[in-house]
Amino acid sequence: LWYADNATGMGSLKGPRSWWYEINLLGGSYGYLHNAVKSTLLVRTVCYDEACKLCRGTNVSVTSEGVVVLGCPFGSSSYVKTVISKKIDAWCKKLKVLADIAVSQPQSAYSAFTRGLFGEWTYLFRTHVQLMRVFYNPWRTV
């Protein structure tokens, strides 16, 4: 089974290159037309130059910083921290708006919180528990 959108894999540098070759070779006959511009190869810093050589001519971007997969950041700790900080800042703003709405329409605000914002929090909390402890302080100020 190959689910094309948001697919991930892990291995040596030659593994993803062979995947890419097979997708190019066989994908069209199954109706899968890949979009190389949306594909990113995340590698360790020491492997960056070699990865760039392997992906030359494919339009696949190569990074050693990080990438967001299904809304969850992966990569260097500074990259993950930056992405999570931005999410928390956005959530704090949304929570303040919901608090203002709750004054006059408490049920609507509660519904928006439980059906939207809470699900986003839950997903990120479950995927990055250790980092969320570091960022817990902003929640106390909202």
Residues of the chain with pLDDT under 70: 1-7, 129-142
Res 2: pLDDT: 42
Q: Show Cβ contacts of residue 92 under 8 Å, excluding neighbours closer than 6 positions.
A: 138, 139, 141, 142
For residue 43 the two structure tokens come to 């590698």
Length of the chain: 142
* Matching residue, tokens 């291995």: 11
Taking the CA of residue 14 as centre, how many other CA atoms within 13 Å lie in the half-sphere pointing to its CB?
Answer: 0
DSSP the chain: ----TT----S-THHHHHHHHHHHHHGGGGT----GGG-EEE--GGGHHHHHHHTTTTT-EEESSEEEETTEEEE-HHHHHHHHHHHHHHHHHHHHHHHHHHHH-HHHHHHHIIIIIHHHHHHHHHH-HHHHHHT-HHHHT-
Contacts of 112 (CB under 8 A, 6+ apart): 98, 101
Per-residue pLDDT tens digits for 58-94: 888 889 999 888 778 888 888 988 988 898 899 889 9
Q: Are strands 72-75 and 61-63 parallel, antiparallel or unpaired?
A: unpaired
In the prediction, which pLDDT does 1 show? 34
